[in-house]
Amino acid sequence: MKADLSRYRFQRALRPFSFPVAMIACLTGVALAWADGAVIDGAFPERVWQPLQILLILLGGVLAQAGVNLINDYADIHLIRRQPGPEAERIVKAIRFNFVCGMLCFLFAALIALYLITLTGLELLLICLLGLAGALGYTLSPVNYKNRGLGVVMVFWLMGVLMISGSHLAAGGELSWQVFWQTIPVSLLVSALLLSNELRDFESDREQGLQTLTVRAGFERGCRLYQLLLLLVWLCVGLFWFVGLLPYAWVLLPALILLIRPLGLLRTSRLERGRLPPTTARALMGFGVLYCLALILPSFSI
């Protein structure tokens, strides 16, 4: 199959529909810090809860997400070069332009992270370095998690657990096993969002020789995994409520409505399936906002 230049244009490579990943991950980290009492007991509460500080956490997360998205297609260059001609060269130029923009996003995110590190300490530095190494390895050789079928697993850790934990630290919280467990529902939805992207592009990825998880496992198994991820999210919510980690779990019930549309799109036509990623992103956004609310509500209890 001949590669399509439109797939690699900046607007599509940026994948703005995925920005809720970073925003919700960062907000979850801030909410966990609030729930931990950082606003009262933190080492620098007078700084943490300034609007500028929270905006910097969100901006840094979105820039990191944009960087990951923009370098995502760099590994496709060797496949595109197998199709000589002016169209292939234009695609390669587009991918390289996106890559440079992605690295600039990482640079600005790193500058924000350095400022936040001066307020929090070296724990945040370690998380940022792990996140950067993982983001670069996601699509760049020789690691290239994406083409090894490990993308869904890696974003769980990179854009889920690590980003939430880093935001939690930046907002004055302290890492603990409880915080780790509380990152899991959102991290599972982050993986589901990436998987929805793979399901949307299944045919084109297979025809171009990209070895994503969905291509390796097959479309039907990819659909089942997507359903399993969503089920695990709600099993976690139920478990957290049962053990007392999320006493206001009922707040999340309206988010179930947002799952109807993406689940209905799973086995539709290739054209209709194009709406699967944005509808999954909306489900993530809705769940994430309500999850943050459920986390902070106990702090208002008398």
| Strand, helix or coil for residue 71 | helix
Instruction: Please say if the pLDDT value at position 204 is more than 70.
Output: yes
Question: pLDDT at position 4, please?
Answer: 63
Domain ranges of the chain: 5-300
Rounded to an integer, what distance in angstroms lies between the CA atom of residue 34 and that of residue 40? 9
**Stretch 177-203: mean pLDDT, rounded?**
94
- Residue 295's pLDDT band, with cuts at 50, 70 and 90, is very high
- pLDDT tens digits, residue range 43-66? 444 444 567 888 999 999 999 989
Give residue 175's pLDDT: 87
- From 154-163, 184-193, 228-237, the region with the lowest mean pLDDT: 154-163
pLDDT of residue 45: 46
Please give the average per-residue pLDDT across 128-139, as a whole number: 81
pLDDT in tens, 214-240: 999 999 999 999 999 999 999 999 999
User: Looking at residue 222, what is its pLDDT?
Assistant: 95
Question: Residue 133 above 80 pLDDT?
Answer: yes
CB neighbours of 113 closer than 8 A, spacing ≥ 6? 60, 124, 125, 128
pTM (2 d.p.): 0.87
DSSP for 112-128, written as a single string: HHHHHHHHH-HHHHHHH
CA angle 230, 235, 239 (to 5 degrees): 150
